[in-house]
Amino acid sequence: MHLAGALLYASWWKSFSRLGVQSTANSPRSVDSKIAKIRSCDSAVVGGFAPGVGVVLCHNHLGTQDEVNRSLTHELIHAYDHCRGANLDWSDCHHHACSEVRAANLSGDCHWSQEFLRGNFSLQAQHQACVRRRALLSVAMNPNCPEPKAKEAVDAVFDTCFRDTRPFDRIP
């Protein structure tokens, strides 16, 4: 494993234990230590989560440790949601939208510094606007959720899922 891979792996373990995503007897689903894979990716995404595959981080699209931390936390939120939700169906646009709202909200994706770098300078409800925008972009990538369906799903679940900060006490 090269240095970037070692940094990603170390960061993953830190985030993994911080989120408390562990195999437990009372969990409807579980994950194991092989949940994270570090790969070179052709698409423009920095990572992803899929049941049965786990977390994939694209080392060729992650330039800094902060990017690794944000991406890893985002994907681990999906893993956490997958483990706690026995009825979570990733092909259901509303289920997927809720996890994307939570991941965008809790991972640092929408921190003011990230929004500033993206050229989004509005101070009024900028965090919520960013979470909504990024969740919509992610859900619309689901083949079952074309853009109009994705928007409806994000709008329908936004308030409830935005307030759900588990496993954190508040937005980190």
**Does the active-site annotation cover 75?**
yes
67, 75, 100, 152: the catalytic one is 75
Strands 36-39 and 54-58: parallel
Q: Six-digit token pair at 100?
A: 């994307």
As a whole number of angstroms, the distance between CA 84 and CA 171 comes to 19
Could you tell me which residues come within 8 angstroms of residue 5 by beta carbon, excluding any fewer than 6 positions away?
38, 59
Q: Nearest Cα to 32, choosing from 55, 11, 48?
A: 55
- Residues 76 and 15 sit within 8 Å (Cβ to Cβ): yes
Which amino acids are annotated catalytic? Answer: 75
